[in-house]
Structure 1
């Protein structure tokens, strides 16, 4: 996207930070590397500080450079918002929205969301970054994304939650698993069976460790992996169970490959999924359209799972 309102110097600094070198930045910007280098040297001269450390493998941001890159990205975010507002004044719902989502969303509701938005709003384009919850919040607050779908979002003043749904703690098993006929499960019974367990790289593992550390006293019964897809595949095989949410396992629950059993232990706390924005700045009309479509897709996915025969009905709508 062209940036008619963002100074070239800021765009150049931002691209060098992203690319790690002046030569790569020049190729990305389609300008001569010498022009990029000249702009950076002029800015360093005007500001009286170095923006980058010149290291053998490229360019590394200094603290001053990092502050300038933050400014550049906020400027570009504001530019996109203003351009979208101008289009809206012309009666056109057109613009670009950047989204942060979780890895487990990739094989869940996210493809349907993209297809639906493309059909309903063909003039709106998307960038989708897959991130951890912490990284998604950081991207939201730095202006790198406009909207984020985040698991277990901790309340904070600078993040505004537009929509949220609870995700009860549960486990998934294949229809042939010994627990499959149960309407619910408890943790003591669940851990009597082999478990496909997520590694600490995934949200659910950190959640379980924080609330139910005793689950990990018998690691010989578990296969540990950082792949949610492998966890679900192992559960589908019938030998293992897996702790996860209805949203993470939605495709397999809808297809009948897996059955979800809510955990009914006293004190079992639900996780959450939230659609959020930066509370410190207004969201554009285009951003609201995308956020609402994201809410509807997640809520609709959960409703579909929960209204499957044999599943407990629990509306995902706030």
Structure 2
């Protein structure tokens, strides 16, 4: 279903490719026809939509405004088509899910497996983004629902479900700490540590905990990647400071042990399932939400 004018279709293609030539190749349309419709649109709006540069086409401020509106129109039409399919009883569809990289190792694969069993006709389009950019992308119509870590500004979003993950230290099963149910930071000071570095959010958390506890950690290595920290701990370099979310897979397999950190200043990592409060979700999207909520409940038990 394509209710949009040729101008809008051509405009979106040029904005996406920053080039009339590339837009023409994508749409299999003559570049002169695309250029003519763009010029007519600019004439009708009485303002330029693109800056014509030697390197290509760049949106003007007005063009950016139109592009944002057009993306929302396309998304709304997609939502409408999905809802129509729901009313017809069609048992298939697609759902666009935004999520941070931290969920790509355990949580998202489990979600895909569950959906494959319960709703094999539903396709999950998962886009991994920087956690801080996810709410903005969701409100811009680049996803149907999203999973966000430690959400801050939720004014325009509806929080469907939340769950918390403890912070702590990971170690090999043969490490002395592996026998403890929980631990304080002072008890870890004597052991070699693999410390998180920025841009990992846990880097600033670890610094605050060390300062508050007046502890001098014995740093064996620093890493700004969760998988690197896990690899270093697995090889015996030291214990590593992470959240349980980061190591769910390794803990379940018995490769590593997670020991929660005790203390008055120790926060929890919060995971929230959210959607744009202004959008009506399709029944297919609601099915995915229900499966995500089920995974959250199981992991909280």
Q: Same fold (TM over 0.5)?
A: yes
Cα distance in 2, alignment partners of residues 26 and 290 from structure 1: 37
Aligned with residue 71 of structure 1, among 69, 84, 95: 69
Supply the RMSD in Å over aligned alpha carbons.
Answer: 2.5
Q: List runs of 5+ in structure 2 lacking aligned partners.
A: none
Point out the more displaced range, 213-222 or 167-176: 213-222
Matched residue, 2:209: 212
- Measured in 2, the distance between the counterparts of 1:23 and 1:88 equals 38
| C-alpha separation in 2, matches of 1:61 and 1:185 | 55
Residue 113 in structure 1 maps to residue 111 in structure 2: yes
Q: Could you give the per-residue CA deviations for residues 10-67 of structure 1, whole angstroms, max 9, x where no partner exists?
A: 3433333333323333333443444433333222222222222233332322221221
Task: Pick the structure with greater CA Rg.
Answer: 2
Matches within 5 A, 1:1-318: 3-209=1-207, 211-212=208-209, 214=211, 221-300=219-298, 302-303=299-300, 315=301
Greater displacement, 221-230 / 157-166: 221-230
SS in 1 for 2:262: coil
Tell me how many residue pairs correspond in the alignment: 300
Give yes or no for contact 2:189–2:217 (8 Å, CA) kept in 1.
no
1:115 CA drift (Å) = 3.0
SS at the partner of 2:89?
Answer: coil
Query: Which deviates more, 102-111 or 74-83?
Result: 102-111
> Does the C-alpha gap of structure 1 residues 299 and 20 become closer, same or farther in structure 2, counting only changes over 3 Å?
farther
Cα distance in 1 between the residues matched to 2:59 and 2:252: 47
Aligned-partner SS, 1:49: coil
Partner secondary structure for residue 63 of structure 2 = helix
Q: Which deviates further from its counterpart, 256-265 or 103-112?
A: 103-112
Per-residue displacement from partner, 1:198-241 (whole Å, max 9, x unpaired)? 332223334445x4363899688153333211111112222222
1:4 and 1:88 map into 2 onto residues whose CA distance is 19
Counterparts of 2:210 and 2:52, CA distance in 1: 46
In 1, Cα distance between equivalents of 2:26 and 2:180 = 56
TM superposition score normalised by structure 1: 0.85
Greater fraction strand: 2
- Cα displacement (A) at 1:103: 0.7
